[in-house]
Amino acid sequence: MNVPLLDLKPQYNQIRAEVEPVLREICESQIFILGPKVTECEAAVAAYCGAAHGVGMSSGSDALLVALMAEGIGPGDEVITTPYTFFATVGAIVRVGARPVFVDIDAETYNLDATKLAAAITPRTKAIIPVHLYGQMADMDAIMAVARAKGLIVIEDACQAIGAEWNGKRAGSIGDYGCFSFFPSKNLGAFGDGGMLTLQDDAKAHQARILRNHGSEPKYYHHFVGGNFRLDALQAAVVTIKLKYLDSWTAGRQANAARYADLFAESGLVAAGRIQLPVARTNRHIFNQYVIRAQRRDELIAHLRTSGIGTEIYYPVPLHLQECFRDLGYQVGDFPESERAAKETLALPIYPDLTGEMAQAVVAAIAAFYGQ
Ligand SMILES: *Cc1c(COP(=O)(O)O)cnc(C)c1O
């Protein structure tokens, strides 16, 4: 049986009848850039996330960039984050001219280890970017306590975590900024690129709105330099429609995670130490990815690929070891948990439309590999 890592076609079939007339309506209106569909999407996403403001962005990467720009972070400043994340988190820091300072991850959650945070702070530190990896939030109590004590800005990279909660608070509503991505493979995906910045502060929200439009206010008067970071109407409309279904899709992902837990327990693979399942420390893990640790990981991946099971490594090279960040001076061994995760983990299919049969096929293929 072929089991893809992600298949979005069943989801499209579910919403097709609702989405297509709205896309046509936008084409008839010929209003593509910002406008009422974007405003509606901003309000809906902000409400869903428990934030006062939502500012539509061209991508999650640009949401991160605009948050840093709105704080005037640049050359001479340091921003603390994890080396075990998608490239964009660190790319944004470097693009504004600031220096990324890495803190290793917790071995169970793969999120920034908040107990190591204080030691990384220097007089140049301006902000912390915790990443809520795979759909589980970082320890926001500990991170906010350190940030508030030291006067640091917190920018949540919530690109994989829309709807995730930490002690009852949603991703993107705890820090000063929340950054979301509508890349199609995210839990709330558009039909192309898109993103959202969430914030509580009125003045900063206004600033972010201007920054995403070349710093223009009023039109053609520029007090500072922004960029073209606008969300378009077609993407915004798709996101607004999909948002109504997000909780049911999240429930589907959570049910699949629970099913895997049962199947893997029955298989004996966990007890035998062959694999380690994801650990949910928050009360609402939204499982953008279902990532396990496995013995002989690379051989297992090769076996899964020949068995028709989709899998991927998120991420094979921790960012402190990337060629483009070589001049930061980090070395192999600097962040052992991130390096170990890069060597030992793999993602399994978890999307809402994955069937029980498919999950069984995934577990059976892994059990066959270990001869279990
Ligand atoms: C997807 C992602 C981003 C970037 O989002 P884009 O919309 O693709 O630019 C940033 N950070 C993390 C952790 C992500 O998963």
User: Domain of 74: which CATH number?
Assistant: 3.40.640.10
> How many domains would you assign to the chain?
2
The pLDDT confidence band at residue 253, using thresholds 50, 70 and 90, is very high
16 occurs within a structural domain: yes
3 occurs within a structural domain: no
Answer yes or no: are the C-beta atoms of 182 and 196 closer than 8 Å: yes
pLDDT in tens, 131-146: 999 999 999 999 999 9
Cα 62 to its chain centre, rounded Å, is 13
Q: Pick the last residue of a domain from 216, 243, 270.
A: 243
pLDDT higher than 80, residue 282: no
Q: Pick the last residue of a domain from 243, 274, 298.
A: 243
Q: How does strand 99-102 pair with strand 78-81?
A: parallel
Report the nearest-CA residue for atom 10 of ligand 1. 88
User: What CATH number is given to the structural domain containing 345?
Assistant: 3.90.1150.10
Integer Cα distance of 151 and 148 in angstroms: 5
Same domain, 274 and 312: yes
List, in sequence order, every beta strand (DSSP E) within 98-215: 99-102, 125-129, 153-157, 165-166, 169-170, 177-181, 195-199
Same domain, 294 and 355: yes
Same domain, 163 and 312: no
pLDDT value, residue 372: 73
3-state SS, residue 194: coil
366 occurs within a structural domain: yes
Question: Which domain range does residue 177 map to?
Answer: 9-243
Q: Give me the mean pLDDT over the 12-38 stretch.
A: 97
Nearest of 213, 190, 187 to residue 287 by alpha carbon:
187
Q: Give me the mean pLDDT over the 55-84 stretch.
A: 98
Same domain, 276 and 217: no
2 occurs within a structural domain: no
pLDDT in tens, 347-361: 999 999 999 999 999
28 occurs within a structural domain: yes
Same domain, 326 and 225: no
Same domain, 65 and 141: yes
Answer yes or no: are the C-beta atoms of 179 and 157 closer than 8 Å: yes
Same domain, 165 and 273: no
Same domain, 308 and 222: no
Ligand 1 mutation target, pool 64, 112, 183, 187, most atoms within 8 A of CB: 183
72 occurs within a structural domain: yes
Nearest of 339, 348, 281 to residue 313 by alpha carbon:
348
Report the nearest-CA residue for atom 6 of ligand 1. 60
4 occurs within a structural domain: no
293 occurs within a structural domain: yes
Ligand 1 mutation target, pool 66, 90, 157, most atoms within 8 A of CB: 157
